[in-house]
Amino acid sequence: MAEYIFFDRDLSWLAFNGRILELAGHDDIPLMERVNFMAIFSSNLDEFYRVRMPVLQAMDKLGELTSATSAVDDPLAIAQQLINQQQQQFGKIFNSEIVPALKENNIHLLLNQPIPAALIDKTNDYFFSQVMAFLRPFKFSGKKKFFPENNELYFLVVIADDNGAEKLVVLNIPSDDLPRFYKVEDKGKTYILFLDDIIRYNLDKLFRGETVKDCYSFKITRDAELDLNDEYPGDLSKQIEKQLLKRDLGIATRFLHQPGIPLRILQMVSESWGIASSSLVEGGNYHNLKDLFGFPVSSPVMRYDEWPTIHNRLSADKSIFDQIERKDLLINAPYQSYDTILRFFNAAALDETVEEIYITLYRVARDSRIVNALINAVSAGKKVTVLVELKARFDEANNIKWANRLKAAGADIIYSVTALKVHAKVALVKRRVNDRIKYYGLLATGNFNENTAAFYTDHILMTANKDLLREIELLFIFLARREKPTSAKLIKFEHLLVAQFNLQDRFFELIDREIDNAKKGQSASITIKLNNLEEHKLIAKLYDASQAGVKVQLIVRSICRLIPGVKGMSENITVKRIVDRYLEHGRIFIFNNSGKPEVYMGSADWMNRNIYRRIEVCFPVYDEQIKAEITDIINLQLADNVQAVMLNEKIENIPIKTTKPAIRSQQEVYKYLSKKA
């Protein structure tokens, strides 16, 4: 591999979050959608501090932050500087744009101000009847330790008695038990208050006979990584449950506090809770603004225009399996109804010819109808085998819950080995028809989760292709053995691209073919859509392709370590980022192949974790009509000049300036699929 350079992984991720924040400031976007973008930004930043900041801090201590391949010298310092800038921008947008815009719509969000006299009686009643039941004041002292829970909201309350002696009390803000926002109507106006302020302005009622001198809000963000043993002989779910109990006591990566806390108090609490001075971050008065997802305004005039779901034209009178057997089907969520996928699993549970069902589950809906269908299938006497990935970050507890229910119902449950996550999105159904076994399957770019399917753009192929599905069956047989792949030759996948077996090598071959075609003067191009692009070897191969004259078009939503447009390295590569009403989530790979395009889709981003530490499945699209449909969708996204930005060689999001007609790809994809329906 040549001496290529790459964007820093974490700075690229922060640049993506910066794009989300930019959209929160666009006044041509409906107001409540802008509020949602602010919530997304806040949620993403929390996750960054839980997942990535511990890595940056650890590498900084070890002196391993810089390398010859990195485009920057001190990513930790730059990340902290960038976060500070973004937080200032967040405050400016929220206070100077969002709050006044709400007021123009007769919605008065009260920030950093006393509760109006007209609302006092109602807020007092709410405090006494609802809020006080969940308040747990804790006197801060050296005798009994108190450890704030991860990402929970608290006040530090300074109280003085009649003699002037001060004490410090930690008081929880119970936003997990009560709505973060309190809405009240008065004289034709809508007022919205933070739960924080209702507590703040009633502290004298909580601490009667004492004087409340000061009150400061804070929260602590902690390292979220679970410490799992690679070789664990016991029940993996039990090991994970134990680790989840420790997650809230992980190393503090951020102590976020409102301005004005006296230094003596900061030093006292940081020493008691083991917080490094480098993790002290001054923010605003209100934290956890991901709670803006629950902002209590539902007016449709402040939301995106509704796009009616496109329903798929499947016969209600005929078996869905017979219809799949006649022709492959493609579901493009959320544009097209996910009911077809639910129907597939319900039919598998009830169809008397179905004998076996296999499925991988990575992130499961809280009220999963898919899992309920699997439980029904077990009750109907069918063999149901489910690979439940218990190590899906932040979904561990929910996945354990469903795994236990499936196990109790009688399903065969497979857990992945500790060192590997199974991130593949595949399902297989086997029917016995006239004494012959027939195969039907789903191969997807996203999770089998009907909740996220409402706002993630994904593609689900429904097929009876025996070549693909027999290889899926081989994969399930291997996974049931709970072994690490010791050799890529263990299973010879001729159609599927499976990480740990042939995925990376096969992508190398596909890129090399384009390079060879370019050198021969033939048409050569590569179009790839990913969530994240990080892995050095695959990026280097794309750099090689660029230097050979291959046109490379990338659509990368989030992390992108490839630096586009650098002369002598990547001048033939462009990177586009699309953020809109839906979360772009599908992974698509198109190789020109001298005018005979090969199209692949699947679960795998090009990140180190996907390539080296996960079982992923990408699959070829053989049906010519579906191949054309996917290509058309990608071409609409490549033409986006409204919601898309180009990534430049400085990791900046550059708006697209053009005299061409405005194209908003998600809207155009919806129109395109509507016409086809």
Cα distance between residue 176 and residue 511, in whole Å? 49
DSSP state of 98: I
Cα distance between residue 25 and residue 94, in whole Å? 9
Say if residue 455's pLDDT is above 80: yes
Say if residue 60's pLDDT is above 90: no
Helix axes 396-409, 369-379, angle to 10 degrees: 20
CB–CB of 496/618 below 8 Å? yes
The pLDDT, as a whole number, for residue 231 is 46
Looking at per-residue pLDDT, the higher value among 431 and 298 belongs to 431
Say if residue 2's pLDDT is above 90: no
The pLDDT, as a whole number, for residue 232 is 46
670 — pLDDT class (breaks 50, 70, 90): very high
CB–CB of 576/498 below 8 Å? no
Name the nearest CA neighbour of 222 among 142, 176, 276. 276
459 — pLDDT class (breaks 50, 70, 90): very high
Average pLDDT on 143-151 reads 81
DSSP state of 304: P
Q: How far is the first Cα of the chain from the last one, in angstroms, to the nearest whole number?
A: 47
CB–CB of 505/541 below 8 Å? no
| 235: exposed, middle or buried (Cβ count in 10 Å: 0-12, 13-18, 19+) | exposed
CB–CB of 203/131 below 8 Å? no
Average pLDDT on 642-654 reads 96
pLDDT, tens only, 300-335: 889 999 999 999 889 999 999 999 999 999 999 999
Active site residues: 423
Cα distance between residue 619 and residue 626, in whole Å? 13
Q: What are phi and psi of 149, to 5 degrees?
A: -75, 160
Cα distance between residue 39 and residue 51, in whole Å? 18
Any residues with CB less than 8 A from the CB of 672 and at least 6 apart, and which?
632, 633, 636
Structure tokens belonging to residue 206: 């909580």
Average pLDDT on 582-589 reads 98
pLDDT, tens only, 533-581: 999 999 999 999 999 999 999 999 999 999 999 999 999 999 999 999 9
Any residues with CB less than 8 A from the CB of 575 and at least 6 apart, and which?
554, 555, 556, 560, 562, 564, 646, 647
Cα distance between residue 331 and residue 322, in whole Å? 17
- Of 66-75, 370-379, 589-598, 637-646, the range with the lowest mean pLDDT is 66-75
The pLDDT, as a whole number, for residue 165 is 84
Name the nearest CA neighbour of 417 among 348, 482, 355, 481. 482
Say if residue 9's pLDDT is above 60: yes
pLDDT, tens only, 606-645: 999 999 999 999 999 999 999 999 999 999 999 999 999 9
Q: Look at the block and give the residue holding tokens 């691209």.
A: 497
CB–CB of 628/634 below 8 Å? no
189-194 and 107-110 strand pairing: parallel
Cα distance between residue 343 and residue 364, in whole Å? 17
pLDDT, tens only, 513-528: 999 999 999 999 999 9
- Size of the chain in residues: 677
61 — pLDDT class (breaks 50, 70, 90): confident
pLDDT, tens only, 190-240: 999 999 999 999 999 999 889 999 999 999 998 877 666 544 445 666 766
pLDDT, tens only, 12-50: 999 999 999 999 999 999 999 999 999 999 999 999 999
- Please state the pTM of the whole predicted model: 0.94
pLDDT, tens only, 64-82: 666 656 667 788 999 999 9
Structure tokens belonging to residue 54: 């511990």
- Of 143-157, 291-305, 600-614, the range with the lowest mean pLDDT is 143-157
CA distances in angstroms from 467 to 122, 355, 438, 439, listed in the order given? 66, 20, 12, 10
* Long-range Cβ pairs for the range 468-473 (8 Å, 24+): 468/441, 468/443, 468/495, 468/496, 468/619, 468/620, 469/428, 469/439, 469/440, 469/441, 470/439, 471/495, 471/496, 472/358, 472/426, 472/428, 472/441, 472/443, 472/496, 472/617, 473/358, 473/428, 473/439
If phi > 0 it is left, if psi is from -120 to 50 it is alpha, else beta; for residue 434 that is: left
The pLDDT, as a whole number, for residue 40 is 98
Any residues with CB less than 8 A from the CB of 25 and at least 6 apart, and which?
34, 89, 93, 97
Structure tokens belonging to residue 381: 């006497």
Q: What is the DSSP string of 203-257?
A: HHHHSTTSEEEEEEEEEEEE-------SS--S-HHHHHHHHHHHHTTS-EEEEEE
pLDDT, tens only, 477-493: 999 999 888 887 889 99
The secondary structure element, H or E, covering residue 313 is none
Say if residue 243's pLDDT is above 70: no
Cα distance between residue 598 and residue 332, in whole Å? 19
153-160 and 614-615 strand pairing: unpaired
251 — pLDDT class (breaks 50, 70, 90): confident
Say if residue 278's pLDDT is above 70: yes
163 — pLDDT class (breaks 50, 70, 90): confident
Please, what are the domains in the chain?
Answer: 1-107 (1.20.58.310), 112-285 (3.30.1840.10), 320-480 (3.30.870.10), 497-676 (3.30.870.10)
